[in-house]
Structure 1
Amino acid sequence: MTSDEALLPTTRRSLLHRVATAQAEGRTPSLVAAVQREGRIAWSGARSCVDGHEPDGDTQFRIGSLTKTFTAVLVMRLRDEGLLDLDDPLEKHLPGTDAGHLTVFQLLGHSGGLRAETPAPWWERTPGGTRPELADVLGESPQIHSAGQRHHYSNPGYTLLGSLVERLRGDAWADVLRREILEPLGLDRTTPEAQAPHAGGWAVHPWADVMLPEPAEDLGLMAPAGQLWSTTTDLLRFAAFLARGDERVLCASSVEEMRGPAAPTEAGDWAGTYGLGLQVVRRGDRTLLGHTGSLPGFLATLWFSIEDDVAAVVLSNATSGPLVGTVAADLVQIVADAEPRIPAPWRPLPEIDEEVLALTGIWYWGTQVYALKAPAGGGIELQPLRGAGRAARFRACPDGTWTGRDGYYAGETLRVVRAGNGTVDHLDLGSFVFTREPYDRGAAIPGGVDQDGWRGLAL
């Protein structure tokens, strides 16, 4: 179900125009798109070369590498359950491969240096049985770059992660996926094999308006890298999960961890990076997260903006043609710019720890002025008041310290240091001292403070 009434007529017109233009100029048999705002589908539209046969939100398309994000969620679940650590070498849990020295983290973020593809023949157009063993997927000398030095996209890397899931769960990847992600999130139209109604995959001739059907192979061991079929409705539900988390699948802090950069960018590629199973791109002043996907006969993209709370999915049944990644980004931009998000009303905290309240206000790092705040979302924030500085959010720890959540201080520890009488002497943030007055002579500042104090220039 859609709720087109949620958007203005001019916005709906712009969305339809973008989709229609993409289908016509991209010369694809069909294209379906949908936009979600604040967790609800706000618009959907489709175009087809056959009148009256436009796909809808229940029509399956193959989503290719969008499958990788699902596989990454399964791996993060294993981490959260304590069955592995992201820094573990693969060999610890999946012995016997030529990539055993690479870490789980490196495989998730494509920084292990593995080859992009399997040995010939072209894996996307051949049966999965062509590569019955992991050695067939990796081939000889699978590592072509030093581990951890650069982002180099690797389909075989996600085959290894799927096999890791199977080893630790003792069950097939597809069964674990259904049980741990698809069923809890209600993604009943996301499946390893096509289920009607579904689109057929086509190749469109580059120089003539004629088509050729593409094969739809079962990818076998490569399934965790690109097997899935899905719909715009299911993928928007998945986007809502990736934005907010769901305790039945993965908590909010873990999906937030997936969204952070995990690998160095390619030289000159300052507009995009990769997290843990998620692509991160900059579009103007907007950060988009999600994934693109393709297999012979199909193109797919899911992008969402946390700040705007808008997500868009575009699916097409052509091997090449419509730039669905660009189209999906355009759909997010159309809605976010034409109808900016209305912020929720400010509301006070239901309660606050008096010791936390006492920490709020002005602090000085040397002479630089910072403000410490206790926002409604929980935790504390430390922000410079003038000029450039290192802002960060912190979450409380059971031992009374605080851990940085983002920015320069991500993972660093903030401690409240007290004097002998119990009063707060200073804040220690990764050894940097923050005091209530600039270079407070009464505080324990490394190197001390000149006892003659502040002075002017004697003439």
Structure 2
Amino acid sequence: MSAGPAPDSRVDERLGRLVRRVQADARVPAVSAALHRADRPLWSCTVGGTGTDSPLGAGTRFRIGSVTKTFTAVLTLQCRDDGLLDLDDPVGRHLDLPAHGELTVRWLLSHTGGLQREPFGDVWDSLRAPDADQLVAELDRAERVLPPARRFHYSNLGVAVLGQLVARLRGGTWAEVLTERVLAPLGLTDTAVTPGAAAATGFLVDAYSDEAHPEPPTDFGAVGPAAQLWSTATDMARWAAFLADPAALDPAGAVLAPATLDEMRWPLTTTDETLWGAGFGLGLILVPQGERVVHVGHDGAMPGFLAAVYGRRGGDGTAGAMGAAVLGSSGTAAELFDLPHRLLATAVEHDPAEIEPWRPGTPAPTALRGLLGRWWGEGFEYVFSWHDGTLRARGAGDPAGRPPAIFAPLPDRPDVFRTVSGREAGELLRLTRDESGAVVRMHWATYRFTRHQESFDRYDFRAGS
């Protein structure tokens, strides 16, 4: 696919100023940012220095912390799609665990299992993470701090268990499986479990002076599936674009089917019961932006490093495969977390995707032409139409941005359709015809639809009877 025309240089400057402003105001020794979209060349920007003899550039690796969890989530869903597990399986069905084996895969992916945040012991004091055997052996010393399925409670330990599960089912280490099944197919060649030769140093920047103290290097051992990875902003912008629009980067579904990413992006819980500013799906953070736009991805933090990686879905002007990543070498510059959201919004505002021209399409099948137009159900008016080769329906008063319901015919049941997306997804639409073959009535999710407004006792307002 062609990258399309280059954006206006003024847009590049706007994006660059956002990065430079955050680097200066938040006092981050090094910031690397990138923006991926299908219709423009890759944009990237670096500001600062690595803290080593290596110059800072687009190829400099940073620790991405909990962004790693999105990779473990994809590996877990691959196992589900390959029939190796079910999301509602207790993990103890696949791993020999001394405790907590009744927690389901779904609960651990969505952080609703109630498992304590970290492995047993003070790992952030000792900076020594358990190996795989120790992680499992000490599970009976880890607490269930909340009842399962009650509410969101973030758990590195839960995701570490999923990493062991993936390794067990695939017959390799988590790192080996990740490289073979995700990194290599998507061309994420600068993403690895080790920093490599040209990585940035992570720092703690003093709150009251300009001293930047290097943080000690850490290996997260068996908790690696939750936070171990190193990467570049360009790799992570591509990863964010995959999470938002997998069909654009993986059209054959070699890594994961688009429908499975749809499932992962569906919010299962909120992260705050009173301020619904973010949700959690299957391993993914979902941040609503208004106007039916959502940013999907994850934040990350490790000693000396912060990362934020998000793809954009929905909204007028959003390009295909649109993702942004911001990586920084300070463990306290929280301003970095908002920056990818600002980069995405700025790019859409000042360099929106081209508007595709409308072109005439194929006519509706003869058997369906008679049902197109306005129908009434539950006292409300709906419009059924044929676009892009599919039967669709939307409320007559729906706002323009609301997606329509889309129907697919059932091959073995004439005049019966399955709602495949939109309102009443999964429900059946049944057509009833008269002696002449005209559609005179429909039932959608069992509700009756008629050409004229009727009450539930079939009083026809047009006829007055």
**Is the pair's TM-score, using the shorter chain for normalization, greater than 0.5?**
yes
Structure 1 residue 147: deviation in Å?
1.8
Aligned position for 1:255: 261
**Per-residue deviation, residues 220-263 of structure 1 (Å, max 9, x unmatched):** 21111011111122112222322232211111111122111122
Work out whether residues 89 and 101 of structure 1, in 8 Å CA contact, stay in contact via their aligned partners in 2.
yes
2:137, 2:127 → 1: CA distance?
13
Determine if the alignment matches structure 1 residue 375 to structure 2 residue 387: yes
2:128, 2:407 → 1: CA distance?
49
Is the partner of 1:415 in helix, strand or coil? strand
Aligned position for 1:442: none
Is the partner of 2:387 in helix, strand or coil? coil
Structure 1 residue 298: deviation in Å?
0.9
Determine if the alignment matches structure 1 residue 292 to structure 2 residue 319: no
Work out whether residues 62 and 295 of structure 1, in 8 Å CA contact, stay in contact via their aligned partners in 2.
yes
1:109, 1:162 → 2: CA distance?
14
Structure 1 residue 106: deviation in Å?
1.6
Label 1:222 to 1:41 Cα distance change in 2 as closer, same or farther (>3 A). farther
Aligned position for 2:449: 434
**Per-residue deviation, residues 56-89 of structure 1 (Å, max 9, x unmatched):** 2211111111111111111111111222222222
Matched letter for residue 263 of structure 1: T
Aligned position for 2:313: 306
Label 1:55 to 1:412 Cα distance change in 2 as closer, same or farther (>3 A). farther
Label 1:249 to 1:4 Cα distance change in 2 as closer, same or farther (>3 A). closer
Matched letter for residue 303 of structure 2: P
1:356, 1:276 → 2: CA distance?
38
Work out whether residues 262 and 275 of structure 1, in 8 Å CA contact, stay in contact via their aligned partners in 2.
yes
Label 1:229 to 1:290 Cα distance change in 2 as closer, same or farther (>3 A). same
Matched letter for residue 60 of structure 2: T
Determine if the alignment matches structure 1 residue 171 to structure 2 residue 178: no
TM-score of the pair, normalised by structure 1: 0.87
Work out whether residues 48 and 54 of structure 1, in 8 Å CA contact, stay in contact via their aligned partners in 2.
no
Determine if the alignment matches structure 1 residue 282 to structure 2 residue 285: no
* Equivalent residue for 1:273, pick from 276, 279, 284: 279
Label 1:352 to 1:385 Cα distance change in 2 as closer, same or farther (>3 A). closer
Aligned position for 2:396: 385
Is the partner of 1:203 in helix, strand or coil? strand
Label 1:320 to 1:424 Cα distance change in 2 as closer, same or farther (>3 A). same
RMSD over aligned Cα atoms: 3.0
Determine if the alignment matches structure 1 residue 331 to structure 2 residue 343: yes
* Greater mean alpha carbon deviation, residues 146-155 or residues 389-398: 389-398
Structure 1 residue 357: deviation in Å?
4.8
1:58, 1:38 → 2: CA distance?
21
Determine if the alignment matches structure 1 residue 455 to structure 2 residue 461: no
* Greater mean alpha carbon deviation, residues 414-423 or residues 165-174: 414-423
Work out whether residues 46 and 54 of structure 1, in 8 Å CA contact, stay in contact via their aligned partners in 2.
no
Work out whether residues 375 and 381 of structure 1, in 8 Å CA contact, stay in contact via their aligned partners in 2.
yes
1:250, 1:382 → 2: CA distance?
29
Label 1:11 to 1:370 Cα distance change in 2 as closer, same or farther (>3 A). same
Label 1:300 to 1:453 Cα distance change in 2 as closer, same or farther (>3 A). closer
Aligned position for 2:372: 360
Matched letter for residue 381 of structure 2: V
1:47, 1:408 → 2: CA distance?
46
Label 1:76 to 1:213 Cα distance change in 2 as closer, same or farther (>3 A). same
Is the partner of 1:449 in helix, strand or coil? coil
Work out whether residues 314 and 328 of structure 1, in 8 Å CA contact, stay in contact via their aligned partners in 2.
yes
2:43, 2:4 → 1: CA distance?
5
**Per-residue deviation, residues 167-213 of structure 1 (Å, max 9, x unmatched):** 21121111111111111111111111111221121221222211222
Label 1:395 to 1:195 Cα distance change in 2 as closer, same or farther (>3 A). farther
Structure 1 unaligned regions, length at least 5:
440-444
Aligned position for 1:88: 89
Structure 1 residue 312: deviation in Å?
1.2
* Greater mean alpha carbon deviation, residues 394-403 or residues 311-320: 394-403
2:337, 2:460 → 1: CA distance?
62
1:16, 1:453 → 2: CA distance?
62
Is the partner of 2:19 in helix, strand or coil? helix
Determine if the alignment matches structure 1 residue 133 to structure 2 residue 144: no
Aligned position for 1:29: 29
**Per-residue deviation, residues 368-404 of structure 1 (Å, max 9, x unmatched):** 110123332x544321103699965335255455444
Work out whether residues 452 and 460 of structure 2, in 8 Å CA contact, stay in contact via their aligned partners in 1.
no
Structure 1 residue 294: deviation in Å?
0.9
Aligned residue-pair number: 447
Aligned position for 1:142: 143
1:450, 1:5 → 2: CA distance?
59
Identity across the alignment (%): 35
